[in-house]
Structure 1
Amino acid sequence: MAADLMEKLSGYLGSPEPAVRLILSILIGYPFALVYRRYFFHQSPSTIHLFHTFSGLALAAFNFGSQLCHSAVCIVVQFLLLRLMGRTMTAVLSSFLFQMMYLLCGYYYTATDQYDIKWTMPHCVLTLKLIGLSFDYYDGGKEASQLSAEQKKGALRTVPTLLEVCGFSYFYGGFLVGPQFTLRSYQKLVSRELTDCPGQPPNSVFPAMKRFSLGLVCLAIFTVGSPIYPDSYFLTDDYEAQPFWYRCVYILIWAKINLYKYVSCWVIAEGVCILAGLGYNGQDENGVYQWDACANMLVWHYETTPLFTGTIASFNINTNAWVARHVFKRLKFLGNKMASQVLTLLFLAVWHGLHSGYILCFSMEFIIVTVERKAMALVKDSPLLTRLSVSPLYPLIYCVQQFVHWLFMGYPLVPFCLFTYDKWLKVYSSVYFCGHVFFFCAYLILPYLRMVLVPRKREDEKKEE
Structure 2
Amino acid sequence: MAAPLLEKLSESLGSPEPAVRLMLSILIGYPCALVYRRFLFYKAPTVLHLYHALFGLALAAFNFGTQLSHSVVCILVQFLMLRLMGRTITTVLSSFFFQMIYLLAGYYYTATEEYDIKWTMPHCVLTLKLVGLAWDYYDGGQENLNAEQKMSSLSSVPTLLEMFGFSYFYGGFLVGPQFTLRSYQRLVAGELTDCPGKPPTALKRFGLGFLCLVIYTIFSPSYPDSYFLTDEYEAQPFWYRCVFISLWAKFNLYKYVCCWVIAEGACILSGLGYNGVGPDGQHLWNACTNMKVWLFETTPLFQGTIRSFNINTNAWAARNVFKRLKFVGNKTVSHVTTLFFLAIWHGLHSGYIMCFSMEFFIIIIERQAQALVRDSPVLSSMANSALYPVIYVVQQFIHWFLMGYSLMPFCLFYYDKWLQVYLSVYFCGHICLILTFLILPYLRKALVPKKDQSPKKQE
Inter-partner Cα distance in structure 1 for 2:255 and 2:383: 34
- Distance in 2 between residues matched to 1:26 and 1:455, nearest whole Å: 55
Aligned to 1:277: 271
Match of 1:316 in 2: 310
Give, in whole Å, the separation in 2 of the partners of 1:84 and 1:439: 51
Asked if the contact 2:60/2:68 (under 8 Å) is kept, the reply is: yes
1:330-378 Cα deviation digits (max 9, x unpaired)? 1111111111111110000000000110000000000000100010111
Q: Which runs of 5+ in 1 are unaligned?
A: none
1:385 aligns with 2:379: yes
Please give the residue correspondences for 1:47-446 in structure 2 after superposition, counting only pairs within 5 Å: 47-143=47-143, 146-198=144-196, 200-202=197-199, 204-205=200-201, 208-446=202-440
Q: Is the 8 A contact 1:201 1:277 kept in 2?
A: no
How far is the alpha carbon of 1:51 from its aligned partner?
0.3
Q: Contact 1:41–1:201 at 8 Å: present in 2 too?
A: no
Distance 2:117 2:198 in 1: 34
In the TM superposition, what is the alpha-carbon distance from 1:177 to its structure 2 partner?
A: 0.1
Counterpart-to-counterpart distance in 1, 2:456 and 2:125: 43
SS in 2 for 1:285: coil
Please state how far the C-alpha of 1:380 moved relative to its aligned partner: 1.2
Give CA deviations for 1:74-133 in whole Å, capped at 9, x if unaligned.
Answer: 001001110001100000000000000000000000001101000000000000000000
The residue that corresponds to 1:25 in the other structure is 25
CA separation of 1:460 and 1:7: change in aligned 2, threshold 3 A? closer
CA contact (8 A) 1:33 1:275 kept: yes
2:193 partner amino acid: T
- Larger displacement relative to structure 2 (253-262 or 384-393): 384-393
> Which AA in structure 2 matches 1:86?
G
Percent identity reads 72
Tell whether the 8 Å contact from 1:21 to 1:63 is kept in structure 2 after alignment.
Answer: yes
How many aligned residue pairs are there? 457
User: Using the alignment, how far apart are the partners of 1:49 and 1:457 within structure 2?
Assistant: 62
1:371/1:442 contact within 8 Å kept? yes
The structural deviation recorded for 1:460 is 6.3
Residue equivalent to 2:4: 4
Amino acid at match of 1:7: E
Gaps of 5+ in 2: none
TM-score, length-normalised on structure 2? 0.98
Q: Which runs of 4+ in 1 moved over 3 A?
A: 460-463
Q: How many Å separate the matches in 2 of 1:26 and 1:274?
A: 13
Which SS does the other structure have where 2:58 is aligned?
Answer: helix
1:462 Cα deviation (Å)?
6.0
Return the alpha-carbon distance in structure 2 between the equivalents of residues 425 and 347 of structure 1. Answer: 23
TM-score with structure 1 length normalisation?
A: 0.97
Counterpart CA distance in 1 for 2:134 and 2:169 is 18
Q: Contact conserved, 2:178 with 2:312, CA < 8 A, in 1? A: yes
- SS of equivalent to 2:250: helix
Do the aligned partners of 1:173 and 1:269 also contact (CA within 8 Å) in 2?
yes
Q: Distance in 2 between matches of 1:457 and 1:171?
A: 56
Secondary structure of 1:289 counterpart: coil
Q: Which whole-Å CA distance do the structure 2 matches of 1:153 and 1:437 have between them?
A: 45
Task: Tell me how far apart the structure 2 counterparts of residues 260 and 303 of structure 1 sit (CA, whole Å).
Answer: 11
Counterparts of 1:444 and 1:229, CA distance in 2: 34
Q: 1:52 to 1:436 in 2, by over 3 A?
A: same
Letter in 1 for 2:74: C
Structure 1 CA distance, aligned partners of 2:187 and 2:417? Answer: 45
Give the aligned CA root-mean-square deviation in angstroms: 1.1
Q: CA deviation at 1:228?
A: 1.1
CA distance in 2 between partners of 1:316 and 1:136 (Å): 21
Q: Is the 8 A contact 2:104 2:347 kept in 1?
A: yes
Contact 1:270 1:294 in 2 (8 A): yes
The residue matched to 2:190 in structure 1 has which SS? coil
